Chain A
């Protein structure tokens, strides 16, 4: 269970995503939204009302979706492709690789409702592989906002970057975790809690749960540093190395497949720069039936699970 108090407000980041996109579209005529029968599920109905000619809906056709976006970029637009993360990243993987990234087109790929946000709809609709798949495309930034403020910052950053990027927009409701003075820039992590015994490096929906785990660990006499690794690619190498050198133990937490995701990215840096014990909290396999909350608890993607991994890594289980 998570210990986020009942009254802590939580947010569906799709709302902030759409709101920020509308604000930006008012100022920049090049911004267009590209959908796959996903206007409602991406919360882009208002965008369509305000900019009826700047929302392209290709229907249920993800390969076409990404190819069309690349063509729109060629024609001078900045397309925000907004589709359920599993279909965007899985179905259109080669379009993402060849048409967008290898061709270096400024297309912003927005994976909606990622992780296990689709709960009972099952593994076909879960997007646990997207971080791994997107990491495997050379040079594609993989951005995983953790809350509304980061979602808005990511949209602004992606529009200004001039390069392709993948944004993983949470739907499962998350509390605000980002300090007001936090800087959002390429490859930059945010340190959210200080502690000398170990570091928990988390992304997206797991960031607030990592903070909850740190609170649990503190009760048990363990001081955990908590880092929000917003950019899984390019990774904040200095922050990972600092975690290894200064705290000696690392736990990673992500609502995604353990192989190839954040944990793997962190482990690579640790292995090359400063080998220390690493434990990875994530989704091990295709999920059984259940709601998002149920499945997060089922796989230990909660404060207890992260704290348990921390104790194991410290040899105190």
Chain B
């Protein structure tokens, strides 16, 4: 196959899915966290299944982090933020940034579920000339706010978004999701200072605290603890939660009440939902065999 044989096909709105997202999403946002949780859990299971088949088709991906971040993504996009698949650049939209860009498969699956593009297109993940690159590209994927992949970039950009909303006197909010290993990058702590200094209570930074990075445990590499004290010392309101409990996540995503930006430390399990992947460092970017995908999908249908 050469480049000339394949024409890159732009991603286009999936109207039916987008309409469903706008309706159901409004209901989930308005519902109490307890009411919304069962439905969010159902959506998240669908996303986990899509992540697995997407990675299976591509024969590449970062499955462990995809599965740890899924509930955080789904609760943000479906249960909290007002995104607009019909007009992804709508200036009034809330902003969602996945700073740990290696988990593109989870981001793409969730964006597709919201109708930003058709779910079938997930099968093109990392295919030659596909808009669905291994790391998200805002120019090619509607719903992506900024190109991530080098760790430690999304948080400063999100801080700029939140500051921009303040400067414009607008009410939209920004959520950024970070890896815990990613928190070793100094740029994040620079952003943490900036956001606190400007009193960005319209910004929520979420750490996917799965305690693993690429090659080892965070605490055996360059330890982050006490992470909550660090956030607090940097001037943030800190909320510590179970990052797989949709009710707790939705509660933690509620706007700040203190005038300070909100840090959510979400305790998660890397590889969550697939028993043989859970909390195992090698599943950072190991690719499951077809048989392992079958077993995983079976576990996820229970």
Residues of B contacting A125 in the complex (Cβ-Cβ under 8 angstroms): 134-135, 149-150
For the complex, what is the distance from the CA of A290 to the CA of B134, rounded to whole Å?
A: 9
Of all chain A residues, which has the CB nearest B281? Answer: A40
Per-residue B-contact encoding for A58-69, CB less than 8 Å = 1, 0 else = 111111100000
Given A40-B215, A288-B129, A297-B3, are A59 and B222 neighbors across the interface (CB < 8 Å)?
A: yes
Closest to A124 in B: B149
Q: Which of B126-164 contact A (CB under 8 A)?
A: 126-135, 137, 147-152
Choice from B1, B102, B150, B221 contacting A86 with Cβ under 8 Å = B150
**Which of A40, A61, A90 has a CB less than 8 Å from the CB of B184?**
A61
Contact B149 A37 (CB under 8 A): no
**With A and B bound together, what is the CA distance between A297 and B3 in angstroms?**
8
Q: When each residue 112-124 of chain A gets 1 if its CB lies under 8 Å from chain B and 0 otherwise, what string results?
A: 0000001011101
B151 and A120 contact, CB distance less than 8 A: no
Given contacts A38-B215, A294-B128, are A59 and B3 in contact (CB under 8 A)? Answer: no
Q: With an 8 A cutoff between CB atoms, is A2 at the interface?
A: no
When the two chains form their complex, are residues A64 and B186 in contact, meaning their CB atoms are under 8 A apart? yes
With contacts A297-B3, A298-B3 taken as known, whether A40 is within 8 angstroms of B134 at the C-beta atoms is: no
Query: Is residue B240 within 8 Å, beta carbon to beta carbon, of the partner chain?
Result: no
Q: Would A59 and B58 count as touching, CB distance under 8 A?
A: no
A91 at interface, CB cutoff 8 A? yes
- Docked CA distance A105–B129 (Å): 43
B-side interface residues, number (CB < 8 Å)? 37
List, in ascending order, chain B residues with CB within 8 A of A124's CB: 101, 135, 147-150
CA distance A60 to B182 in the complex (A): 6
Q: From the candidates B8, B135, B214, name the one contacting A40 in the complex (CB within 8 A).
A: B214
Contact A60 B152 (CB under 8 A): yes
Residues 103-144 of B at the A interface (beta carbon under 8 Å):
126-135, 137
Cβ–Cβ contact B214 & A121, under 8 A:
no
Task: Pick from A41, A63, A87, A297: contact of B186, CB below 8 A.
Answer: A63
B181 at the interface (CB under 8 A from A): yes
- Chain B nearest CB: distance from A296 CB in Å? 11
Which residues of B lie under 8 Å from residue A90 when comparing CB positions?
150
Flag if A37 contacts B58 (CB, 8 Å).
no
Decide yes or no: A37 and B221 within 8 Å by CB, A121-B134, A290-B128 being known contacts: yes
- The CA-CA distance from A40 to B215 in the complex, in Å, is 7
B301 at the interface (CB under 8 A from A): no
* B268 contacts partner chain A, Cβ-Cβ < 8 Å: no
B293 within 8 A of A: no
Contacts A124-B101, A289-B130 given: A61-B149 contact, CB under 8 Å?
A: no
B241 CB-CB contact with A under 8 Å:
no
Contacts of B152 in A (CB 8 A): 60, 91
User: What are 6 A-B contacts with C-beta separation under 8 Å?
Assistant: A59-B181, A59-B184, A120-B60, A121-B135, A125-B135, A289-B132
Residues of chain B having any CB pair with chain A under 8 Å: 1-3, 8, 58, 60, 101-102, 126-135, 137, 147-152, 181-182, 184-186, 213-216, 218, 221-222
